[in-house]
Structure 1
Amino acid sequence: MRSAEGARGSRADQADQRRAELLDAARRVVLERGISSTRVADIAKATNVSGGLIHYHFATKDDLITAMLRVTIDDEVTRLGELVRGSGPAVERLDRVLRYYIPRSRTDQSWILWIDAFAAGLREAVVQKILLELETAWIGAVEQAIQAGVDTGEFTCDDPRGAAERLDGMLDGLIIRYTLHPLVLSRARLLEHARVAASHEVGLPRSAFPAAG
């Protein structure tokens, strides 16, 4: 009995490992080719396996891409929750969320992936759904960070949800500009825009936020 259960567990572990390898390969290929141009055959070649094996784990390309994007979302949402619930004054927690939102560089793979997904989402419903989940999570995290400051009296904001939506929309646009035109908009200036906008939304002077970094 124990032997059979161990064998089933081993096979399940192997299947999970194979799925993880395929998702990692899908991410690499998508970053290179783009979501719309990526084929199952490209991912099969990148992992040196057959297309049939990929379809054993993922029925369609959409299933594979959805799973790959969802892993990325889950990781980001987990990290966002940690930042919102972290220690320190509300302004520090909000600033940490803003800094996490902003790409580390113009080659930040997560943002390259999401910018490509924005374009693919115009025509692919499955990507639209994933993007909505991501946007909802991001806006929710910013809203929670602002609401926490309102609850403790550190912030003044009559509409934390609206403030979060405005910050999210502004940052999306600026981040695309930063990624495509790094000589026009530096990361430091992008972060400054975020802090100035956030200070207006929560009723604090700009000096309440960090000066740089």
Structure 2
Amino acid sequence: MARPSRAPERRAELIAVARRAVVERGVLNLRLRDIADGAGLSSGSVLYYFPTLTDLLQEVQQEAVERFCTQREQAARHGDPAQRLVATIRSGLPTGPGDELCVLLYELGTIARRDPAYAARHIALYERQVRVYTGILEAGAATGEFALTADAVAIARNLVALEDGYGLHLTQAVPTLDRATAEAMLLSYARTATACALEDPS
């Protein structure tokens, strides 16, 4: 009887090694040799599972996008619309330069400027977050909890764009602001956009 293939396990291991390598080295400095060394394999062995480094990094990006969005969607499920909006804002900001998942997404986002496949996933990440915010904003408007000052989708897009901008500042080697300040500025915009007090539950 043939032994079961270990290919899925090996691929998952290589994705995990690549994920750590992107965070530690940065995507622009990453080499196939870094992945091979981290996995204890030859470069040729890595290419057996992933034909190119680009293919491997696309898998890393896909896994990171799914993990990030799932976490945000879970944060947005509980409470009334105001509570959900605050929780969603808090779930989208990196904790700082050491936030592995957010740093990973920002690093991989740099490739989106040149590679359509990466760009498509980056757009999907953005649009999925917009949908989360839009659903909360529309629910709040429907119950009368929010009095939206603009279209729900427009407000949602602004919130995600602000998160992205503040997140880049938070993950720099020398952050230009702290998470509490970024969160306060996002909440300030959200209060204005919804005409709701949005008390921070913490």
After TM superposition, the score normalised by the length of structure 2 is 0.89
RMSD over equivalenced CA pairs, Å:
1.9
| Residues 131-162 of structure 1, C-alpha deviations (whole Å, 9 max, x = no match) | 11211112221112212222222212251110
Contact 1:199 1:209 in 2 (8 A): no
SS in 1 for 2:89: helix
Contact 1:62 1:126 in 2 (8 A): no
**What displacement does 1:88 show?**
1.1
2:121 maps to amino acid = I
Matches within 5 A, 1:32-43: 32-43=24-35
1:195 matched to 2:196? The reply is: no
1:81 matched to 2:73? The reply is: yes
Moved more, 111-120 or 194-203: 111-120
* Number of the residue aligned with 1:209: 199
SS in 1 for 2:29: coil
After TM superposition, the score normalised by the length of structure 1 is 0.85
In the alignment, which of 179, 189, 198 is matched to residue 171 of structure 2?
179
In the alignment, which of 109, 117, 130 is matched to residue 118 of structure 1?
109
Gaps of 5+ in 1: none
1:118 maps to amino acid = G
* Number of the residue aligned with 1:21: 13
| Residues 84-131 of structure 1, C-alpha deviations (whole Å, 9 max, x = no match) | 3x2211111111111110112231112222222233322333322221
* Number of the residue aligned with 1:97: 88
**What displacement does 1:61 show?**
1.2
In the alignment, which of 13, 31, 55 is matched to residue 63 of structure 1?
55
Cα distance in 2, alignment partners of residues 57 and 145 from structure 1:
41
**What displacement does 1:75 show?**
1.3
2:128 maps to amino acid = A
| Residues 14-41 of structure 1, C-alpha deviations (whole Å, 9 max, x = no match) | 2221111100000111112222221222
Cα distance in 1, alignment partners of residues 137 and 96 from structure 2:
26
**What displacement does 1:66 show?**
0.4
- Number of positions where the alignment pairs a residue of Structure 1 with one of Structure 2: 200
Q: Identity rate of aligned residues, in percent?
A: 26
1:146 matched to 2:137? The reply is: yes
Cα distance in 2, alignment partners of residues 155 and 115 from structure 1:
32
Cα distance in 1, alignment partners of residues 8 and 18 from structure 2:
15
C-alpha distance 125-34 of structure 1, shift in aligned 2 (>3 A) = farther
SS in 2 for 1:77: helix
